[in-house]
């Protein structure tokens, strides 16, 4: 049967029940009508066993007289049997058997994959896609129909954010371009991707009730675009976030869920709540655009039916929500199908995808005097934990036996002259970091090694995001940033340090010299209101606007080889609003090693009426070149994508004039520049009667022409003079109702633009 045929057989009580979750990570089943249970699970970095076991096997444990504490301890030590009591080992053995049966005879050995921030640092859409494929296969293995939080494309605005590591970038283009590849990769395996948290879930403090005050321009330019890109490639589900935006909970926000998501973007999938994010009336949430209320058991069908009865929820929207749920189940419930590839191939595919992400995503931030790569890895003396922190806490946690320790990969390495200090810092859902400082115990170790002249000192940053390094950066020799790398982090780090792999990761966030320099520093909330006072000036946009030098700029990352950009050109010198700009250049590997480089294309509007960033990333590409090789490359962007949102007009507008293009290897390392002209921009911003008084009052020829037209038509010149003195931001056509008759003024404006 089709989804519509199934819908037509249901009564209203059954329909309402489908919109309410059944289990903590599962949906309702109406077997007689062909509607089967769907299993959800957090899975952006792999299978969350705590959730899987809790949803499927907790009943077995209780029935057999195990306590919840024993059950939890077994889950978190599933592959560390020495930590279990004899009774717990018995429970673990039974759970192992049951999970093997559940997977169709495959032993449970899940993988752990890199989070968004490391995937983002690859700048490689194909690598992200392949990790999405691996995660989709992992979901199929454990009979999961929808991977929650794959991807999390919330903008990386505030580095203290406890879930900072889950996101991709401080730039919406990077987040959107790479996040949508995760969507495509997961869904290529017949598993529903889930884009979260919609929208602007950028902190963990008071997340369930905090009211985020965000300008419309910042929402449109910074916080919505990555979600739109994921929706436009066919994301099956979107998760509405906990916070409020400008007074309205995201789960009860018809502007966000209906006007933007479903109508403007044409989203055809299912919109669910974050777990417990609906704190109001369930009927109002469905009326606002929610299609599924989680977690279960969500026993509020009566609220939905009451909203239907009193007209707050229309019949059309009610049936539409049910239809979306049914369609999700028909398309993504693959539990009866055989696993698509052999077990060994699945294991290797996941390992390779994770390794490639680490190999391309680890960022070398410093390498004084070319200390690395090392010809002799026995020179390394490891300090810090033998175990890398491979995932962040909370919904991103993964329990696996497939992640080798540093000691297993690097060996004992106790007597070398290169001191490698592994700085491993926690971060967790539900709470933000207190600051960006290194703990005192690490600071003492680093300072002691610096003061001991027998060592070269290298830091390995096993961290969730930026940390303050200004105290040591001039005195240490090398820095590698690995974030939370997943199961292959140790192998990839070894291969990069030894030179088997040339590092090519690039920062997708700016590292500050100190936390106080970050654009949102003064806006961190201490209660239930957070004002996004920096507006659109997130990340590098904010540093450049305030002329603050960061420790490491956006897009930065070192290599063992060198690159140059040559012969930059655009396909035209002038463009219209509907055009695409094609920027051609030659990239050359000028060093003696094979390597990959990320070329970043920025566009700036140096003479703009509206406040704008100095420049913004508009295109990028990553290219692998052999030593000495050069390649002709073209990057492109659409003119429509360089507009700025106008609060006055409620839409994106593009100013006419000269724009600057820069090509480089970071936001602070620009190798080639060029320019182009937009001859005629958005009509609303063209010099003329739509202009503000301030736009023409200091241009004598235009002011004279305006005064002449005012007098010629019999209007009052004094009104212009008064507005120049007191309200110069008012528009000319607001002052003068007959502004359409100012023909000479318009002609002079057109001539001025041509000049």
- The yes-or-no answer on residue 274 being catalytic is yes
**Cα distance between residue 426 and residue 462, in whole Å:** 9
Nearest alpha-carbon partner for 382 in 408, 346, 351: 408
- CB 192 within 8 Å of CB 145: yes
Helix axes 68-76, 49-56, angle to 10 degrees: 140
Tokens, residue 634: 């073209």
Phi and psi torsions of 605, nearest 5°: -120, 90
Superfamily of domain 351-545: Glycoside hydrolase family 3 C-terminal domain (3.40.50.1700)
CATH fold group of domain 3-46+118-332: TIM Barrel (3.20.20)
Over residues 36-81, the pLDDT tens digits come to 999 999 989 999 988 988 888 999 999 999 999 999 999 999 999 9
The active-site residue, picked from 274, 356, 495, 605, is 274
**Is the dihedral angle over the CA atoms 713, 716, 717, 723 positive or is it negative?**
negative
Peptide bond into 327 cis (omega under 30): no
Whole-number Cα distances in Å, 470 to 77, 436, 550, 551: 38, 11, 10, 7
What are the domain boundaries of the chain?
3-46+118-332, 48-109, 351-545, 563-682, 687-754
Is 670 buried (19+), middle (13-18) or exposed (0-12) by CB count in 10 A?
Answer: middle
Q: SS3 sequence, 113-125?
A: CCCHHHHHHHCCH
Q: Look at residues 74, 158, 165 and name the one whose alpha carbon lies nearest to residue 121.
A: 165
Predicted TM-score of the model (pTM): 0.96
pLDDT tens digit sequence for 187-229: 999 999 999 999 999 999 999 989 999 999 999 999 999 999 9
Q: Which residues of the chain have pLDDT under 50?
A: none
How many angstroms separate the Cα of 521 from the Cα of each of 91, 158, 203, 543? 48, 8, 13, 12
Q: What is the pLDDT of residue 231?
A: 98
Helix H segments across 413-565? 440-451, 489-498, 540-545
Q: Is the torsion defined by CA of 439, 440, 445, 451 positive or negative? A: positive
Query: Checking phi first, is residue 676 left (phi over 0); if not, alpha (psi -120 to 50) or beta?
Result: beta
Instruction: Note the pLDDT of residue 607.
Output: 86
Q: Are strands 270-273 and 651-653 parallel, antiparallel or unpaired?
A: unpaired
pLDDT (0 to 100) of residue 609: 81
SS3 664: strand
**563-682 is classed in which CATH architecture?**
Sandwich (2.60)
Q: Where are the alpha helices (DSSP H) in 109-254?
A: 116-122, 125-141, 172-187, 216-218, 225-232, 254
Predicted local confidence at residue 750, as pLDDT: 85
Closest alpha carbon to 153 in 207, 105, 115, 111: 115
């Amino acid at each position: 049967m089709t989804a519509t045929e199934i819908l037509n057989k249901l009564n209203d009580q059954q329909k309402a029940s489908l919109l309410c979750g059944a289990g903590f990570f599962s949906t309702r089943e109406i077997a007689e009508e062909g509607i089967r249970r769907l299993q959800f699970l957090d899975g952006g970095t792999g299978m969350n066993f705590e959730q899987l076991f809790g949803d499927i096997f907790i009943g077995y444990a209780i029935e057999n007289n195990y306590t919840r504490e024993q059950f939890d301890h077994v889950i978190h030590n599933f592959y560390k049997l020495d930590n279990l009591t004899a009774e717990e080992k018995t429970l673990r053995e039974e759970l192992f058997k049951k999970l093997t049966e559940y997977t169709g005879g495959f032993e449970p050995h899940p993988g752990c994959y890199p989070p968004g921030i490391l995937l983002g640092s690859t700048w490689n859409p194909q690598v992200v896609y392949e990790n999405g494929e691996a995660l989709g296969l992992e979901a199929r293995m454990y009979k999961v129909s929808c991977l929650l939080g794959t991807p999390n494309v919330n903008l990386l605005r505030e580095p203290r954010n406890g879930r900072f590591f889950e996101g991709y970038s401080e730039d919406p283009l990077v987040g959107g371009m790479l996040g949508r590849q995760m969507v495509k990769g997961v869904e290529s395996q017949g598993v529903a991707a889930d884009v979260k948290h919609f929208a602007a879930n950028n902190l963990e403090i008071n997340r369930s009730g905090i009211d985020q005050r965000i300008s419309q321009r910042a929402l449109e330019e910074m916080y919505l675009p990555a979600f739109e890109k994921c929706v436009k490639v066919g994301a099956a589900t979107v998760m509405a976030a906990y916070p409020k935006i400008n007074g309205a909970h995201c789960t009860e926000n018809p502007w966000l869920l209906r006007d933007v998501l479903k109508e403007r973007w044409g989203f055809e999938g299912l919109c669910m709540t974050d777990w417990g994010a609906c704190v109001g009336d369930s009927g109002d949430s469905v009326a606002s655009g929610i299609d599924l209320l989680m977690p279960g058991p969500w026993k509020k069908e009566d609220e939905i039916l009451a909203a239907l009865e009193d007209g707050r929820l229309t019949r059309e929207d009610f049936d539409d929500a049910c239809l979306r749920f049914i369609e999700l189940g028909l398309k993504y419930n693959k539990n009866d199908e055989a696993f698509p590839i052999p077990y060994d191939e699945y294991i290797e595919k996941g390992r390779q995808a994770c390794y490639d992400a680490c190999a391309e995503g680890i960022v070398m931030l410093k390498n004084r005097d070319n200390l690395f790569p090392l010809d002799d890895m026995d020179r390394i003396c490891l300090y810090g934990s033998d175990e890398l922190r491979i995932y962040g806490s909370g919904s991103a946690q993964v329990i696996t036996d497939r992640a080798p320790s540093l000691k297993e990969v690097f060996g004992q390495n106790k007597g070398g002259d290169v001191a490698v200090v592994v700085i491993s810092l926690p971060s967790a859902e539900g709470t933000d970091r207190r600051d960006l400082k290194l703990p005192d115990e690490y600071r003492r170790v680093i300072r002691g090694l610096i003061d001991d002249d027998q060592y070269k000192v290298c830091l390995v940053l096993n961290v969730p995001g930026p940390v303050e390094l200004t105290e040591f950066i001039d005195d240490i020799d090398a820095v590698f940033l690995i974030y939370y790398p997943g199961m292959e982090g140790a192998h990839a780090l070894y291969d990069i340090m030894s030179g088997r792999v040339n590092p090519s990761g690039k920062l997708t966030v700016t590292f500050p010299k100190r936390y106080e320099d970050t654009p949102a520093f003064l806006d961190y909330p201490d209660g239930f209101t957070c004002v996004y006072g920096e507006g659109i000036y997130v990340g590098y946009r904010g540093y450049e606007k305030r002329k603050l030098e960061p420790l490491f700029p956006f897009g930065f990352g070192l290599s063992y080889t060198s690159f140059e950009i040559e012969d930059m050109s655009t396909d035209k010198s002038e463009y219209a609003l509907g055009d695409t700009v094609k920027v051609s250049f030659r990239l050359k590997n000028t060093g003696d090693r094979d390597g990959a480089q990320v070329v970043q294309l920025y566009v700036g509007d140096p003479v703009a009426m509206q406040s704008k960033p100095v420049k913004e990333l508009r295109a990028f590409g990553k290219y692998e070149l052999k030593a000495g090789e050069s390649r002709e490359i073209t990057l492109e962007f659409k003119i429509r994508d360089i507009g700025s949102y106008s609060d006055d007009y409620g839409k994106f507008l593009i100013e006419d004039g000269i724009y600057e293009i820069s090509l480089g290897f970071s936001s602070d390392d620009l190798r080639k520049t060029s320019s182009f002209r937009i001859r005629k921009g958005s009509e609303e911003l063209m010099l003329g009667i739509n202009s503000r008084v301030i736009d023409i009052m200091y241009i004598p020829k235009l002011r004279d022409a305006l005064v002449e037209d005012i007098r010629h038509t019999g209007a009052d010149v004094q009104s212009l003079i008064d507005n120049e003195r007191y309200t110069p931001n008012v528009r000319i056509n607001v002052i003068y109702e007959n502004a359409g008759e100012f023909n000479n003024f318009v002609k002079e404006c057109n001539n001025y633009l041509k000049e």
